Amino acid sequence: MSFRAGQVLTDVEIGPVAHGGHFIARHDGMVIFVRGALTGERVDVRLTEVNRRFSRGVVTAVRTPSPDRIEPACPIADECGGCDFQHIAPAASRALKAQVVNEQVGHAISARFDGPLEEVTPAPFGWRTRMRYHVDADGRLGLSGHRSHQVVPLPPEGCRLAVPQIAHPEVPEVHSGQLLALVAVDEVVVADAEDAIGTVTERVGDREFQVGVDGFWQAHRGAPQALVSAVMDGLVPVTGEVAADLYCGVGLFAAFLADAGCRVLGIEGERAAVELARENVPGGQFLAGDVGVLVDRLPAHLDLVVLDPPRAGAGIDVLAAVMARQPRAIAYVACDPAALARDLKAAAAAGYHLDSLRGFDLFPMTHHIECVAILKPS
């Protein structure tokens, strides 16, 4: 049977969840990645992309619903590219994401992640402290559509994921077409994305951090504390140890390692973030540049390492350089379970085993997952 984009397939049985927020279906020999579905359902699917090896589609009608299906709270959930799991009960969503982590890690190193995926409050709505909106010529706010450049207008009640102050902010004069909105400790910033300059103060426990208005900081209000606690619990730093914080940003993990008495060296590719890290962690040393290049400038021996790479992961070369320094423990903070699994496999081949793995639901109502893996020498 030949397939084409726009075609509607009826009574399709939905199989397991796949990494990336889709569910797998097989229909007349074709593998289809379906958005808006749930395992065990029978649905009608409109094909949005047709390729030689697989197709993509979206649910147009649910014939046999899953008991975990709920009515999305947001009227644009089906169109917006943000909330691909808003049709799933929160507890079921966490179970599915734990299943994804287990599958990815299990294929790579034959380990099991039995969960649970840990909920971090606030959840499942009102958690996002940083938003980037599109602004049309009439000053109306919108968000990017799923896998498209289409802008979906924001509903009157605003984005349900955002903290209330920036769920539907007042729009200043915008010439770039994008609006940056964020809530920090004691201020709200709403500005043209091209004019978003300066810093804001963020707080984790008793620690304050200066963060660039347009720089990286975890979007979930509770994420920095949850990740710091997981990293510190896993590493158990001791006064006098030498630690490296790679992809260190503005020095989040470096600060707590320094407070624990460690001598800390951080490396980060964003020069502005490094300047702020030096301010946030006066006792640390920080280098600005590509981690893959500067990793060779680390001390010959390290006791502890934190890796918090971008979505693509750290990669085998960085891992090899880190493990050559024989740290007694490595904390790997990962936002993509597939990249994490690949790097865990490389670490295992170099003599470091997975000691513990925790998963955090820092992006409720979406398929995204944050993990903290602790690696130790075999």
Catalytic residue annotation: 335
For the chain, helix, strand, coil in percent to 5 are 20, 35, 45
Residue with tokens 């597939």: 338
Q: State the amino acid at position 241 in one-letter form.
A: E
What lies within 8 Å, CB to CB, of 153 at 6+ separation is 76, 136, 140, 141, 142
For the chain, where are the alpha helices, taking DSSP H only? 90-109, 223-235, 252-259, 271-280, 291-294, 316-323, 337-349
DSSP state of 298: S
Q: Are 184 and 207 contacting, i.e. CB atoms less than 8 angstroms apart?
A: no
| Three-class SS state of 285 | strand
How far apart CA 338 and CA 303 sit, in angstroms, is 27
Q: What are residue 277's phi and psi, to 5 degrees?
A: -60, -40
Cis before residue 364, ω within 30 degrees of 0?
Answer: no
| Per-position DSSP letters for 44-110, written without gaps between them | EEEEEEE-SS-EEEEEEEEEE--TTB---SSTTTTTBSS-TTTTB-HHHHHHHHHHHHHHHHHHHHS
Q: Are 194 and 177 contacting, i.e. CB atoms less than 8 angstroms apart?
A: no
Element (H, E) at 117: strand 117-119
Q: Are 188 and 130 contacting, i.e. CB atoms less than 8 angstroms apart?
A: no
Enumerate the β-bridge partners of residue 288: 268
Nearest Cα residue to 244 out of 311, 323, 315 = 323
How far apart CA 223 and CA 163 sit, in angstroms, is 14
